[in-house]
Amino acid sequence: MTSKSFTGLMAGAIALTVAGAAAGQTLTSVKTGSAPVLDGAGGAEWSAAEPVNVAVNLTPYKPNNGYEGITQSTVTLRAMHDDANLYMLIEWDDPTQSLARFPWVKQADGSWKQSKNIDDTGHDNTFYEDKFAVLWDVNARGFDKKGCDAACHMAQDGMVNGIADKSPGRKYTTRPGQTIDMWHWKGVRTGPIDQIDDQFIDDTTDPTQNAGWGRKGDSRTGGGYSNNVSEDKATPAVMPADGKPGAYWVEKANAVPFVDSFAAGDILPGIVISPFEGSRGDIAAVANWADGKWTMEVARALVTTGENAETQDVQFSDLSAEYPFGVAVFDNSQINHVYHEGVLTLRFAN
Amino acid sequence: MTRLKQLETGGRLAVSLFCLTVLFALTASILLVMYSTASSSLVDHEAVKRKYAQNMMTGAMWGSMYEYVTEDESIHITQRWIDAGFPRDLYESEVKLIMAEDCTNCHSASSTMTKAIPSIPLTTYEEVVAFSTQGLPDGKLLKGLHFHLFGIGSALVILGVLLAFTGLAPLWKALIPLAGFAGLWLDTAGWIAGRVTESAAWMIIGGGALMNGALGAMALLVLLDCWVRVPLLGEAPQAARRV
């Protein structure tokens, strides 16, 4: 090897090292004349869209009651658009499909117990659901450089922003008026009704104003999910109309008041779900899990017009602009997520 | 005198692997320096000055931690605070917020993140000041000196002895190891001097070049001398004899 080629090799390795640590990846949305069918199958209709593979391998904390979820995964993203909508095909590796979110189980003595395994931060990583999140910059300081990290504020010695908090961290923006759009797919609460929970993050740091700090749901006019708990918290409030045990969710339209005719060991849903109406239901998504992988197809209007859309939603109104975003995988975990550093960018091809 | 070529194959193989290891380590150390200073140049005086002869705080913010810094203005504010002698009020009104925004998620004794660095907390005024004084902080300096002097000193001795068994002219057998040790001392002296003068960056660059050049030259010469006849080493082929 000549000294020149060795120098070239070294320079290339150095450039890759430095660039790989700092630069993000770009997802290019291709124009399509026919909208993909949202069936959670992916397939040939996405063949024109160039995939981007994103390695996620960081977690914010280590639950003290055991976390058997993944600590790394690969997310494959594809994007297409037409004149009205953005479509995304999102695939990620997850060896287990997790649906048993706080299920009710009838005990041998006839009582009912909701399965939970809460860690010392107040969160569950055992009886929960798979989730996926996409965060889009609306106008948050630093997001275009740091990605989701711009919204992440970890606790120090039990304090977040000077407030005692047992949570390992909170999400909020650092300036008034700055927001981040959050597409939060929830495998049990929104997956069965083919929606993503359209949320956003603002600068709220007062838990008395909002228990989730800066993390909030978009404006809604109806629908949503609620815990399936009776007033005395001793039993489920409702059950599926067919009276069969074993489901982990029940759709509100298909729920009837709970009547206990079940056997010990029977399972009833811990959650009642219905489609979000209004801005919170802006995003359609169909997901399927098979062979250790989630495949999700997403559609959202390029420009949304619902209540507070300008602050709660990213608006893909300029197809020559670039849109910073980040992704995270939740494996049967309430808040512990597997994420990447830096920022991803969506751009639109003509 | 016994030559390396006269060793059995196993002996020459062991010596060669050691030399290759040294060359690989040298490559890695060069990459590490460039990565930690976020520089694409091998000799970047400004980057070396920031890392060793200014303060670790803004050196890191401009360097390996740059991707976590929200905006350059945060580094300028921190530098102004350092230049002003660490005033408490500016820390409370500006620097503390910058640390919270860009640093303390990982730089906290209680951080639980995958990339947590609890050994370098930046959550109090005292911690931030300690990391912002000119030159390497005490702990980092002593740890660096310890590993650098022991590790590289040992490698220089081993390679210097091996070089003595090559066909190289006696003058070079003395000069190259001497240059290596001179570079090592100059480099580490530069680390210490960096706490009082920015000119120390030149000592570090010069010392590093001398040290790494000598290490690389010795490793390469010894490696070649094990297997091939190198004209400059001046060994007569008939002198080779198995022992």
Q: Tens digit of pLDDT for each residue in B3-36?
A: 888 899 999 999 999 999 999 999 998 888 777 6
Whether residue B10 contacts residue B226, with contact meaning beta carbons closer than 8 Å, is answered with: no
What sign does the dihedral B10-B15-B18-B24 (CA atoms) show? negative
- State the smallest CA–CA distance between residue B241 and chain A in angstroms: 31
Tokens of B52: 């060793």
- The per-residue pLDDT for B29 is 85
Identity of the amino acid at A3: S
Residue-wise pLDDT for A294-305, tens only, equals 999 999 999 999
CA atoms within 13 A on the CB side of A9: 7
* Cross-chain residue pair A22–B27, CB shorter than 8 Å: no
Nearest to residue A201, comparing CAs of A277, A317, A282, A311?
Answer: A311
A160 contacts in chain B (CB < 8 Å): none
pLDDT tens digits, B64-77 = 899 999 999 999 99
**pLDDT of residue B240 exceeding 60:** no
In this prediction, residue B136 carries a pLDDT of 86
d(CA B64, CA A17) in angstroms, rounded, equals 11
Q: CA dihedral in degrees (A79, A57, A213, A221; nearest 10)?
A: 30
pLDDT at residue number A15: 42
Q: Which two tokens stand for residue A37?
A: 């069918």
Residue B133, chain A, CB below 8 Å: the answer is no
Residue A199 is which amino acid?
Answer: Q
Give the span between the Cα atoms of A102 and A271, in whole angstroms: 8
Using pLDDT thresholds of 50, 70 and 90, give the confidence band for residue B57: very high
Give the C-alpha separation, A199 to A225, whole Å.
14
pLDDT at A21: 37
Residue A15's closest chain B neighbor by CA? B40
pLDDT in tens, A22-72: 347 999 999 999 999 999 999 999 999 999 999 999 999 989 988 889 999
* Residue B181 CB neighbour total at 10 angstroms: 17
Residues 44-103 of B with CB under 8 A from A: 66-71, 97, 100-101
Assess contact for A182 and A215: CB atoms under 8 A. yes
B109 touches chain A (CB under 8 A): yes
pLDDT of residue B243: 39
CB contact under 8 A, A142 and B100: no
Alpha-carbon torsion, ordered B23, B26, B27, B30, to 10 deg: -160
Helical pair A3-22 and B9-36, crossing angle rounded to 10 deg: 50
What is the reported pLDDT for B32?
80
Best of B64, B70, B98 to disrupt the A interface by mutation (most A CBs within 10 Å)? B70
Residues in chain A with pLDDT < 50?
Answer: 1-23
Residue B92 burial class via C-beta count within 10 angstroms: exposed 0-12, middle 13-18, buried 19 and up: exposed
Residue B133 has pLDDT above 80, yes or no: yes
From the list B40, B68, B112, which residue is nearest A146 (CB)?
B68
Q: Structure pTM?
A: 0.78
Question: Are residues A146 and B104, on separate chains, in Cβ contact within 8 Å?
Answer: no
CB contact under 8 A, B105 and A21: no
Residue identified by tokens 């062979």 is A291
